[in-house]
Chains A and B, each alone.
Chain A
Amino acid sequence: MAHQTRLHLDGELVARARRLAVRAGQPVVDLARSRTTVSVERATLRLAGLAGADPDGIPWVNRLVDAVRGDVGIGHGVSLPVFHALAADGHSDLLALAQKAASGAVRFEVPAGAAAVRARELASASVGAGIAAVDARRVERDGLVAEIGDPPQRPWIYLIVATGDIYEDIPQAQAAARAGADVIAVIRSTGQSLLDYVPEGATREGFAGTYATGENFRLMRAALDETSVELGRYIRLTNYASGLCMPEIAALAGLNRLDMMLNDSMYGILFRDINPIRTFVDQRFSRQIHSRAGIIINTGEDNYLTTADAVEAAHTVTVSQLLNEFFAHEAGLPDELLGLGHAFEINPEVPDSFRLELAHALLARELFPDAPLKWMPPTKHMTGDVFRGYLLDGFFNLVGAMTGQGILLVGMMTEAVVTPWLSDRDLALQNVRYVMNACGGLTEDFHPPADGFIATRARVVLGEAIELLERICDDGLLNAIGVGTFGIMKRPADGGRGLDGVEEHQDGYFNPATEILEGRA
């Protein structure tokens, strides 16, 4: 590819950076492969068709997994005990079993011999039907995109709605799509990350966002399908597979044909203080489902730059992108589903800040030529001076155009002031359209010289990234996270929320979803 050489990067150095990321990440993958979590098991039951919640709003998957865990733990996986009980006692379905289990009327055990074979077959058929539904959603998306069409331009324009009420979000999302958005993200309620269950049903109350629930997903996707037909371009829907319920939300996203999901390897650890081991186990399973569902993941490197300095910490973004790429590949995600993140967060008072932004954005573009990079707007240096903020967003859009970014999150001049007003969104889209119309093809003409400021800066950042990866390989990734290497936050492997929901696999651990997703069934 022609643009591959735009920064004159040393191919051997790039290959070395990738090898180091594999070396740093592999021990964490090994750790994830030998453990399960309550959320992985609940996601498996969701794929097997168990939905709904008890009268207190506690999902049946939680009630059932808790009941199994109380009797035999989750180290064997819940599938064998659950489907053994289902077969043995002649319960009509998982819901009836969950209801009985919740009242304490079922005693779970890990079956052996012929009973185990039978439970295995039943579980595989049940979960297999869920995965077939995910496959069907993917085929449906491919059909709709072929029929209705993709956006005519790159980058895709990504807009956020967040009212807290799904029935308010829907008309806002449709209006945003009509105004030019290609991707709609429904921001989640603050704090959902830390819930160890997924709320049920359509929700109308949230804080600074709307709860991610299966029903909210379904309602919004159906509304955007109508709008897609009306507009003649397929409008993609985004939500968040992060927090304590990553695997379950990934399953719900696959079953409801979401198109993109925020899914970062370390975001929950660093910014939500979720236990590192819980995160890596949950993340691997959630990414396997995203891969199956054809969902583009969006990683969260932009967040590092909001807490650390965007110049000094530029290489931590590169390191995180390389790690995210390794973890994603390992979970089966191809490059075209890797929306690796980065952001325009350098202090505008820094001399040459725009050239530095160009260098960093182009470095990401060159390192990951086939990934639809997600380019995030300024937030940290948006001061409340909306006029200056509008100019900054214009420069952000210009970097996006010059470096060929795949997904552009539209910056709001009222960032840090209010949740975006109708007029803020309209002005922000005018800003994007002006830049794309004026110089959308500028990437063709933009070839910074090998000895210039931009190429030199990119090489420096790559060099620093390699040094940091070497240190991580020496110390171990979990230790690096523990001492505050990323985003300044120190997160030890035995700290944070959710570690009590992790168990090591026992001999004979069985998860029919994993078997299918890893191609063993």
Chain B
Amino acid sequence: MSNPRIVRPYGDTTGDGMVQVSFTLPVAHDKRAEGAAAQLASKMGLDPVMVVHAKQIGTSHTFFVVYGAAKHLVNLDEVQVVERDYPLLTSKEVNDAVKENLGRKLVVVGACIGTDAHTVGIDAICNIKGFAGEKGLEYYRELRVVNLGAQVPVPDLVNRAVDEGADAVLVSQVVTQRDAHLHNTREMSAAFREAFGPQDRPLLIVGGPRFDEMMAGELGVDRIFSRGTTPGDVASYLVHALASDVKEPVG
């Protein structure tokens, strides 16, 4: 079989199921601690289990590295993911599509909301400098980008979106303590729904390394971008949602 639909991890032989995990147990290092590590790994579904490294940290913790074969199987046909449902465009294609189908510049307002001060995400997408070798949205001639930076209160974001005539609002959230990213996103989408009618609400996009891309509906946004997203991904999506020749309803 060249394309198996049912898979298990690969160490050095197809089907060996080998995985490596590391963890700390709140016990001092002795034989019993190593036994506990092996038992935990076995309960995690590894069999056989090899505790290859154990090192005490301080007086009452021990760090383990464990190798073992995972018993579990994954059926690829049962895996649900958000596949990219739009074509990836070059910056020229993005500019051409906006010019042709929108006939004006597409306005993007970006911000970190709530108390999140980590602008690294929004800057990577918006700043001309970009990310992963791709120039940011500011580089696209036909996009007008207003990056409001860090710790923007939601009402200010809504007001700026109105003032700038935003077609899309981009929000990045890095801090996830106590699910702050989820609370902030819900607050933001609710505020936009209150301020705009369903026809003229800007496209709402959130991004951050710890978001689950499946949660867009639940959080009230049009799209979630997760780890590894590049400016080109976002620009292509903007064209797909707002400036493709076949106009699709959003939200």
What residues make up the interface of A, taking CB atoms closer than 8 Å to B? Answer: 164, 175, 178-179, 189-191, 193-194, 207-208, 271-273, 306-309, 380, 384, 416, 419, 421-423, 426-427, 488-489
Cβ A207 vs Cβ B150 within 8 A = no
Cβ B117 vs Cβ A423 within 8 A = no
- Chain B positions within 8 Å of A384 at CB level: 209, 227
- Taken together as a complex, chains A and B put the C-alpha atoms of A432 and B175 apart, in Å, by 27
Cβ B115 vs Cβ A190 within 8 A = yes
Q: Which of B41-49, B56-64, B79-87, B240-248 contacts A (4 or more CB under 8 A)?
A: B56-64
- Taken together as a complex, chains A and B put the C-alpha atoms of A208 and B63 apart, in Å, by 25
What residues make up the interface of B, taking CB atoms closer than 8 Å to A? Answer: 22-24, 55, 57-58, 61, 63, 115-117, 119-120, 123, 127, 129, 149-151, 175, 177-178, 180, 209, 227
- Residue B175 contacts which of A207, A380, A489 (CB distance < 8 angstroms)? A207
Cβ A191 vs Cβ B24 within 8 A = no
- Chain A positions within 8 Å of B57 at CB level: 179, 422-423, 426
- Chain A positions within 8 Å of B123 at CB level: 307, 488
- Residue B115 contacts which of A207, A309, A380, A489 (CB distance < 8 angstroms)? A207
- Chain A positions within 8 Å of B129 at CB level: 307-309, 488
- Taken together as a complex, chains A and B put the C-alpha atoms of A391 and B55 apart, in Å, by 20
Cβ A307 vs Cβ B117 within 8 A = no
- Residue A179 contacts which of B23, B58, B178 (CB distance < 8 angstroms)? B58
- Residue B150 contacts which of A164, A189, A273, A306 (CB distance < 8 angstroms)? A273
- Taken together as a complex, chains A and B put the C-alpha atoms of A194 and B117 apart, in Å, by 10
- Other 15 A-B pairs with CB < 8 A, given A207-B177, A208-B175: A178-B58, A179-B57, A190-B116, A190-B117, A190-B175, A271-B119, A271-B150, A307-B120, A307-B129, A309-B129, A384-B209, A423-B23, A423-B57, A426-B63, A489-B149
Cβ B117 vs Cβ A193 within 8 A = yes
- Taken together as a complex, chains A and B put the C-alpha atoms of A189 and B120 apart, in Å, by 18
Closest 8 CB pairs of A and B: A191-B115, A423-B63, A426-B57, A190-B115, A423-B24, A208-B177, A208-B175, A207-B177
A190-B175, A489-B149 known; A307 and B24 CB under 8 Å?
A: no
| Closest chain B residue, CB of each to CB of A430 | B55
Cβ A423 vs Cβ B22 within 8 A = yes
- Chain B positions within 8 Å of A189 at CB level: 115
Cβ B120 vs Cβ A488 within 8 A = no
Cβ B120 vs Cβ A191 within 8 A = no
| Closest chain A residue, CB of each to CB of B55 | A426
- Taken together as a complex, chains A and B put the C-alpha atoms of A384 and B127 apart, in Å, by 22
| Closest chain A residue, CB of each to CB of B176 | A208
Cβ B127 vs Cβ A488 within 8 A = yes
- Residue A272 contacts which of B22, B23, B24, B150 (CB distance < 8 angstroms)? B150
- Taken together as a complex, chains A and B put the C-alpha atoms of A421 and B57 apart, in Å, by 12
Cβ B120 vs Cβ A380 within 8 A = yes
- Chain B positions within 8 Å of A191 at CB level: 115, 117, 151
- Taken together as a complex, chains A and B put the C-alpha atoms of A488 and B129 apart, in Å, by 9
Cβ B24 vs Cβ A422 within 8 A = yes
